[in-house]
Amino acid sequence: MNNPLVSVIVPIYNVEMYLDRCINSIVNQSYQNIEIILVDDGSPDNCSSMCEFWKEKDDRVVVLHKTNGGLSSARNAGIYVSHGEFLCFVDSDDFIDKTMIETMINAIYKFDSDLACCGRYVLYDNGKIEEEFTLPKEKTISSTKAMQEMLRGTYIGEPAWDKLYKRSLFDEIKFPEGEINEDIVILPLIFKKCSRIVHVSKPLYYYCKNGESITRSGYSPKKHIIIEHLNQIENIIEKYYPNLKKEYKCFKAKYSLYMLYLILEDKETKKKYIDDYICYYNNLKSNFILFVLSPYLNYTEKIKGFLILTNVYLTLKSFLQRRILNE
């Protein structure tokens, strides 16, 4: 291995409570030939000055200040100024294991791969920690297999951040700006460009799940884009992965179920977003048999799906909430 430069891109917005923890985990990587690109996306708190502090402290740190444009805009700006042969993304409220970059770049060279994935630890606000997307040992897979496992939700995750990429994978590909959940439409195109993908088996990324995560922050107009994302993925499946149509239909039903949870928070939310509700409901209904038969979904999800389709879910939820309040 020739000790290539790795560019670690960190989009930053309103995270002063977590930022030092994140940057510390990157600065102290066992693999030292890195440039750390801190993209201050117009953060209104003290993140701007914190970035400058780290720039003075470590000459591998590059700071880019820009007007607020969102996560994708910050990532694209970071890619544009980066110099590494490899790219890695770390969200600024998360942090990484000290061996993450070394482990993944070693695996890329060992298995002659274009992209490396790792598992993750999920940290909840209440202190609970879960291990996800891990394997018993290293494994190499094709681009189609990676796409299949992403759709199934097994050991390949949808986010951009638990992966190390050859820079060339982003030639002619950018993150869609002004959207949420943008990784989901980028990864299928990235996978398609890979001749081989390696999973290093270990959990090396610490994902801190908070109230802003897509399935915990309530339904809002910006989540309408997910309907378009599902359609975009369907077009990608038709064009590049035609043998994965069944997996996609199950994936579409699962994603629609998650959005239905949010819309069915109460009757007023359902009324406000009735058009989106109908779309997600029809997605779940038309693919429900595949959804129920999938061995990759748990029984709780399947039962909730049935309750939603039979229009019992919201009534039952309201009843249970009233019962808890009266106890």
Write down how long the chain is: 327
Domains of the chain by start residue, with CATH: 6-208 (3.90.550.10), 239-326 (no CATH)
186 contacts: CB under 8 Å, gap ≥ 6: 160, 173, 175, 176
Instruction: Mark 49-75 as b/e (b = at least 16 C-beta within 10 Å).
Output: ebbebbeeeeebbbbbeeeebbbbbbb
115-123 and 61-66 strand pairing: unpaired
Note the pLDDT of residue 56: 97
Report yes or no: 262 and 223 within 8 Å, Cβ to Cβ. yes
Q: Which residue has the tokens 């951009």?
A: 160
DSSP 8-state class, residue 311? T
Which H or E run includes 27? helix 16-27
- The pTM of the full predicted model, rounded to 2 decimals, is 0.93
Q: What residues in the chain have per-residue pLDDT under 70?
A: 1, 211-217, 317-327
Q: Phi first, then psi: give them for residue 36, nearest 5 degrees.
A: -110, 110
Residue type, 127: G
Q: 234-290 pLDDT, tens per residue?
A: 999 999 999 999 999 999 999 999 999 999 988 899 999 999 999 999 999 999 999
34-41 and 6-12 strand pairing: parallel
Q: How far apart are CA 307 and CA 327, in angstroms?
A: 25
CA angle 219, 261, 91 (to 5 degrees): 60
Instruction: Mark 78-111 as b/e (b = at least 16 C-beta within 10 Å).
Output: bbeebebebbbbbbbbbbbbbbbbbbbbbbbeeb
Report yes or no: 184 and 151 within 8 Å, Cβ to Cβ. no
Secondary structure in 3-state letters for 280-300: HHHHHHHCHHHHHHCCCCCHH
Strand-pairing partners, residue 203, are 119
Note the pLDDT of residue 215: 47
Residue 55 in 3-state DSSP?
helix
69 contacts: CB under 8 Å, gap ≥ 6: 41, 42, 77, 177, 178
Q: Tokens standing for 282?
A: 């029809």
Q: How far apart are CA 115 and CA 160, in angstroms?
A: 11
Q: Tokens standing for 227?
A: 């309907």
Note the pLDDT of residue 106: 97
